[in-house]
Amino acid sequence: MATSDDQNETLRRQALDYHAQPVAGKISVQPTKPAATQQDLSLAYTPGVAAPVREIAADPLAAFRYTIRGNLVGVITDGSAVLGLGNVGALAGKPVMEGKAVLFKRFANIDVFDIEVNADSAQEFIDTVANIAPTFGGINLEDIAAPACFEIESELNRRTDIPVFHDDQHGTAVIVCAGLINALELQAKPLAEARIVCLGAGAAGIASMRLLTSLGATRENLFMVDRKGVIHSRRDDLSVYKREFARDTDRRSLADAMADADVFIGVSGPNLVSAEMLQSMAPRPVVFALSNPDPEIAPALAHATRDDLIMATGRSDYPNQVNNVLGFPFIFRGVLDVRATEVNQEMKIACVNALAALARESVPADVLEAYGLDRLAFGPQYIIPKPLDPRLADFVPAAVAAAAVDSGAARAPYPSHYRPRD
């Protein structure tokens, strides 16, 4: 019988072969115009290329018409927080950025240049990315450690005229909120009244709590927990970002925070929640244990402990996978199609509502076939759409684009080929 170590070694070899063969890497650049004749070459380069150069020099927005900019996203990292591997450096983060490029192309037909930046400070990274921003129609920041990621995203949004979106923050937050809205409805718990515990006070945790408050969660009902315990107002070691969620409370440990909680959201590490903690939660709890590959509490243990819970994880082999691919490709599709200048709160909320609504629709046969299922319907085992659901490309970009137009973030009208506006 194969051991776990044998299986891990097999997977490692398969992954290395996948990335190395038949050519190194996962992406390439392909021309979109012919270059077979002298006339082709004269149009592609000199002298013909001078015509779009002059147009863009006169009007920078013309770059969206005459270059790839209108369908190009920069996926950019400093390698300081790569997956669960930590600060491996910019170059070692490149396989992940190439993987992100594959997902952008596969799910939303968006082209990507991946950029890995060696930077000794947040300011050096900001300056580098700001200086190359004219290349892109949008920027997806990835795998950048907190708290620097907050400053980097904010400053780049201030310095550029294109959306800068840190997916580890907002992509995760959007999917968490969409799933949680549906789970709370099934559990008959209003968001405004729900007591919520978030274990993990990094990029994903803080962004998720911010978005939940925008959707109606009550700040006084939120408990955020980091490695040192509950984030409370008497701690003197809090960053400005954690201080935003400091509570005036006598609760100190995760176990203290979990007692009578309606919702647990874990964006931290494996096996940090015990059966006793889960048992102490309120009736009909919602548990999002999103640490990957090993959740904060194993689904088998969670379901054995409580038969009244709704659970989500970050894994594809359990129901209700919280997967960022449900968000970022389609958010950027909507953003690029209306030439938006930012991804604002209205656009994120629109994405949340679109994802939540899609999970309540009847599931078509091709989705069932893709996942080898006979039936799938809105309920405790299905609160979030499946990543291979082709309707995502219809629901989410349309919602994001409409919100961009309505909020004044768009530089182009709502596309005529999109689904009719609600």
CB crowding 75-110: b at 16 or more within 10 Å, else e: bbbbbbbbeeeeeeebeebbbbbbbbbebbeebbeb
3-class DSSP state for residue 320?
coil
3-class DSSP state for residue 231?
coil
Task: Reply yes or no on whether 45 is catalytic.
Answer: yes
Q: How far is CA 334 from CA 11, 66, 400, in A?
A: 36, 20, 5
Are the beta carbons of 360 and 299 closer than 8 angstroms? no
Residue from 330, 393, 324 nearest 168 by CA: 324
Q: Convert 28-96 into a string of H (helix), E (strand) and C (coil).
A: CCCCCCCCCCHHHHHHHCCCCCHHHHHHHHHCHHHHHHHCHHHHEEEEEECCCCECCCECCCCHHHHHH
Residue from 395, 392, 406, 404 nearest 335 by CA: 404
Q: Which residue has the tokens 């620097």?
A: 148
Q: Which residue has the tokens 């659901």?
A: 389
Nearest-10 Cα torsion for 369, 371, 376, 378: -130
Of 18, 94, 100, 418, the catalytic one is 100
Question: What are all long-range contacts of 255-260, with beta carbons under 8 Å and residues at least 24 apart?
Answer: 255/280, 256/230, 257/197, 257/223, 257/225, 257/230, 258/197, 260/195
Task: Reply yes or no on whether 100 is catalytic.
Answer: yes
In the chain, the amino acid numbered 160 is T
Point out the residues that are catalytic: 45, 100
